[in-house]
Chains A and B, each alone.
Chain A
Amino acid sequence: MLKLNQMRLQPLVLISIVVLLTFFVSGLFAPWLAPYDLEQMDLMARLNKPFENFAHILGTDELGRDVFSRLLYSIRLSFLLAIAGTLLGAILGTALGFLAARFGGFIDDAINASIDFTASLPFIILALTILAFLGTNVTVIIVIMAVYGWDRYARLTRNLARSAYTEGYAGALESLGIPTWQIAIRHILPNIASALVVNMTLNFPGMILLETSLSFLGVGVQPPMSSLGTMLGFGRDYLTTAWWIAVIPGTVIVMATLSMSILGDFVQQKLEPQGK
């Protein structure tokens, strides 16, 4: 998708990896790295500007909560949701794609129709609709993120598994009496693994953007929990007095999605040199 292949990517890729690692580590160790609790207020130090004192290195918000600590916890939740969504989406899509290929007929038609259906609406509309049905909580957000992008995995797996069945080795294995799940996991999965990994890395920025958009709109992650989008949406209301509350998480989102796009492109180039 992203056509950065032609660029001499090496320094950029390196920077991206460093950025992403920093975010991963910050998220992973947020409870130990954060100097304050997520909700800890310091009413004596409200609306401190960033980079002015060491007690609150990225400043504080209007309740005197430490922006740096909130940022770490938000990175943790946003990344956690994006990773969970990516993995679940990949599992769901791959499994359904395999089912479609293995059983064909009605199941294939139904899965194909669902693929077309998912692709026929802008996903944010679909996500908002699901939120309207199910209400807003973290489980629902994970469901939405798993549904996001499942169609691409399904299409990928279906096409590959189908050719394996119609003309290739899968049919042969079947006639040897090897169970279907074993064929799927031992024989077909390794063949699509690299395509799956490429798809997952390319899909990851979209995941971050989806969750942060929903949270920004106030229908995603709800307080007292905080994601990068929640922080930004909250900061929007204090733009006149405290720009940093919104700008800092926004910058982190841009750095994360940009780095992941660059890395995804690099991975694609390495794993699928023949692809676009």
Chain B
Amino acid sequence: MFALVFRIVLRSLITLLLLTAVVFFALHLTGDPARLMLGDGADAAALNAFRQQWGLDKPLWQQFLAYLQKLMTLDMGHSYMTGLSVKEVFLNAFWPTLDLMIPTAIITLALGIPMGVIAAIHRNSTLDRSMMFLSVFGYAVPNFFMGVLLLLVFSIWLGWLPSYGNTSALHYIMPIITMATSEAAIFSRYARSAMIDALRLPCVRAARMRGLPEKRIIWLHALPNAMLSILTILGFFLGTLVAGAVITENVFSWPGVGKLLVQSVANRDIPVVQVIVLATGASLITANLLMDLLALVVNPRLRRTDH
């Protein structure tokens, strides 16, 4: 048991370190930040001064060690563009993104799980088919187009909702709807297949043969098993939420991490991009780690076998 937990944690740490290294080296090997920031016309003295200022004149491995050391102390450097501390820039963008992600996650779970489970129970019925068509449709409408359509109808034609920013509660409605539709579409499909698998389990078949009432079979035998497999994709779910936020924030000019990321990519503001990628990666790795550990807690079967 302890060995298993240890292995899971170790794997996460290695992935995290790998991510840090890949991001750091890739970003530094593919372009000279000094030249990027100062332009091709900059003279050698200015380039050298810039390199010295950011420690770019040292060998790459030294820069990497220095970078790791700074990360440990949560010092993330400064933006090449604005000179502001990256930590500050990132945190300012982080809270608005969280404001968007939490309600979206709640709506997605509250909508997606029941939809998928109901579709699975009534498998092959008209209800199931129409819900699954809706789900495919929700997936096919990209977030940015959904956002643009909502903007067009509710801000421009009807004038009911504000189109950009995050200053009032009304501002939250369209971004959350935009994100939640595609999320719920994806999620309901996973919930449906999880429930279908659960309904095929021997314990469910046995319960059926014993003549237990259908309600009891679903609530006590199938659903808990389905929830176990749903639990394992929650880490992936967080990933899709982040991806959705990147697009949605840019549609609605939401001052969050997604907007910051796209801006920084356009400006090639490497320290900011680096921190956003690392923070996203770290939170996903942590989420997956927690889900793996939680799965061990709630599903004793996993503890016996060593995966």
- Interface of B: prevailing SS: helix
The answer to whether B136 and A261 touch across the interface, beta carbons within 8 angstroms, is yes
**Stretch binding the partner chain, chosen from B46-54, B140-148, B199-207, B225-233:** B140-148
- A123 and B273 contact, Cβ closer than 8 Å, known pairs A4-B136, A134-B30: no
Mark contacts of B127-165 with chain A using CB atoms, 8 A cut-off: 1 yes-contact digit, 0 otherwise.
Answer: 011001100110111111100110110001000000000
Kindly state whether residue A172 has any CB partner on chain B within 8 Å: no
Kindly state whether residue A171 has any CB partner on chain B within 8 Å: no
The answer to whether A122 and B280 touch across the interface, beta carbons within 8 angstroms, is yes
Kindly state whether residue A250 has any CB partner on chain B within 8 Å: yes
Kindly state whether residue B31 has any CB partner on chain A within 8 Å: yes
The answer to whether A128 and B261 touch across the interface, beta carbons within 8 angstroms, is yes
**Stretch binding the partner chain, chosen from A25-33, A38-46, A179-187, A216-224:** A216-224
Minimal beta-carbon separation of B127 from chain A (angstroms): 12
* Total A-B residue contacts, Cβ distance less than 8 Å: 145
CB neighbours of B144 from chain A (8 A): 212-213, 216-217, 229, 232-233
**Stretch binding the partner chain, chosen from B81-89, B210-218, B245-253:** B245-253
Minimal beta-carbon separation of B126 from chain A (angstroms): 10
Residue of A nearest to B238 (CB): A122
- Interface of A: prevailing SS: helix
Minimal beta-carbon separation of B121 from chain A (angstroms): 14
The contact size tier of chain B is: 35 or more
**Stretch binding the partner chain, chosen from B14-22, B63-71, B90-98:** B14-22
Residue of B nearest to A216 (CB): B144
CB neighbours of A229 from chain B (8 A): 144
Residues of A in contact, count (CB < 8 Å): 48
CB neighbours of A253 from chain B (8 A): 142, 145
Residue among A3, A6, A257 facing the most chain B CB atoms (10 A cut-off): A3
- Distance between Cα atoms of A240 and B273 in the complex (Å): 32
Mark contacts of B252-290 with chain A using CB atoms, 8 A cut-off: 1 yes-contact digit, 0 otherwise.
Answer: 000000000110111010100100110011001100100
The answer to whether A4 and B145 touch across the interface, beta carbons within 8 angstroms, is no
Give the contacts of B2-38 with A (CB-CB under 8 A).
15, 18-19, 22-23, 26-27, 30-31
Kindly state whether residue A189 has any CB partner on chain B within 8 Å: no
- Distance between Cα atoms of A233 and B151 in the complex (Å): 13
Minimal beta-carbon separation of A126 from chain B (angstroms): 8
The answer to whether B270 and A236 touch across the interface, beta carbons within 8 angstroms, is no
Minimal beta-carbon separation of A223 from chain B (angstroms): 14
The answer to whether B19 and A120 touch across the interface, beta carbons within 8 angstroms, is yes
Kindly state whether residue A22 has any CB partner on chain B within 8 Å: no
Kindly state whether residue A131 has any CB partner on chain B within 8 Å: yes
On A, residues with C-beta under 8 Å from B are 1-4, 6-7, 113, 116-117, 120-125, 128-129, 131-135, 205, 209, 212-213, 216-219, 229, 232-233, 235-236, 239-240, 243, 246-247, 250, 253-254, 257-258, 261-262, 276
Task: Across the A-B interface, give the 7 residue pairs with the lowest CB-CB distance, nearest first.
Answer: A250-B145, A133-B30, A258-B140, A122-B243, A257-B140, A122-B239, A132-B273
On B, residues with C-beta under 8 Å from A are 15, 18-19, 22-23, 26-27, 30-31, 123-124, 128-129, 132-133, 136-137, 139-145, 148-149, 151-152, 156, 189, 192-193, 239-240, 242-243, 246-247, 250-251, 261-262, 264-266, 268, 270, 273, 276-277, 280-281, 284-285, 288
Given A4-B132, A125-B280, list of 8 further CB < 8 A pairs?
Answer: A116-B15, A122-B246, A122-B280, A133-B27, A209-B142, A216-B247, A239-B156, A247-B152
